[in-house]
Structures are given as structure tokens and as C-alpha cells.
Amino acid sequence: MKKFFFSMATLLLLVAVFAFTAVQAWQIIDKYSINFTSDDASGIFKTFTGNIVFDEKNLGASVFDVTIDAASINTGNGLQNKHAKSDEWFDVAKYPAIKFVSSKIIQAGAGYQAIGSLQLHGVSKELTIPFSLQKSGTGLTFTGSFSVNRNDYHIGKPGGDVGEVIKIDLSVPVVKK
């Protein structure tokens, strides 16, 4: 009988420890914004989904696994949108998703960095996304800004009318799952 109570006490202790060390999963809410700008083109991506697991006290267990629907690009100009979706640029029929999966998240000064793989147009490259965190009630908002060179991902022709460096600004509000 003593073994049974000892086993149950150990099990309860393990459950309690796990409950306090589990990393919080977050749900992306609709008020996100994914904006891009270059010298010649700008716009937004309208569809963004993913899984975010984040705990600023346990960054080693935190993960971003997010996807942008490439066909959701909106430049504010219907003809430009059609052109951006074509095989000359994003080729959304062949490469429908832009995906980022973090391999680690670290603290960097007053903010953080998500280091991982950006898969875009069939090319995967390591990328560091610096971001900050704002708390509001039971939610958080991740905000960040970074640049990518479209030539690294074989998007469009080198040179041409569109700048090669594209700046991405993001704001991603989340609530606890």
C-alpha cells in the first residue's frame, strides 16, 4: 500500500512540475499585418496562419511555425497582383506557401530573435527575424522588421524595375489557446 501511495505522489509531483514548465501555445488573431516594401513595390499579404509556442522564460522550448499564403499578395493594383502571382515572380501555382520555422529563439537586448528557415519560391535559407513583444491583457503582439533579397529566392529577374531588397514589417497579435 505504501508503494501505491508513493507512486501516486510521484506521479502527481511530475504532473505538477510539467504543468508549471509547459510552454504556452498562442493563437494568431485576425488583426495581424504582414507588409512589404521596396524602392518600387509595396503591399501586404492577407492570409497568415501558423503555430506559435512562446514563453519568454523558456525560450529553448519556444517555436514559430508560420505560413503566408503567397496568393494572398495585395499591392493595391489588380494588374500588379496578377503579375506578382505569375510564374515570373512568386509562381503561386507552383509555390503556394511562404513558410518560416524557427530553430531557436533567443533574447537580444531588449527584444528577441527568431532564427530559422525561410522557405520561399522553392528555396530555403536561414534567416534571423528580430522582434519585440508587447503584452496586453491576456494577449501578446509580436512586432518585427527585417529584409530579404528577392534574388536569394529567385523571385523575378535580377535588376529590373523592382528593388532587390524587400523590407518586411510584421505585427502579429496572439491570444492564449
How many helices, marked H, and strands, marked E, lie in the chain?
2, 11
CA separation for the pair 167, 146 (Å, rounded): 6
- For the question of whether the overall pTM of this predicted structure is more than 0.95, the answer is no
What's the full length of the chain, in residues?
177
**pLDDT in the model for residue 2:** 54
Q: What is the mean pLDDT of residues 38-54?
A: 94
pLDDT attached to residue 1: 54
Percent of the chain topping pLDDT 70 = 88
Q: Domain-by-domain residue ranges, the chain?
A: 23-176
CATH of 23-176, picked from 1.20.1440.130, 2.40.128.110, 3.30.70.3270, 2.40.30.10, is 2.40.128.110
Q: DSSP alpha helices (H): ranges in 34-140?
A: 78-85
When pLDDT is cut at 50, 70 and 90, the band that residue 18 belongs to is very low
Say if residue 7 is exposed, middle or buried (CB neighbours under 10 Å; 0-12, 13-18, 19+): exposed
**Would you say residue 80 has pLDDT above 60?**
yes
Nearest Cα to Cα of residue 84 among 97, 94, 98, 70: 70
**Contact at 8 Å (CB) between 126 and 102?**
no
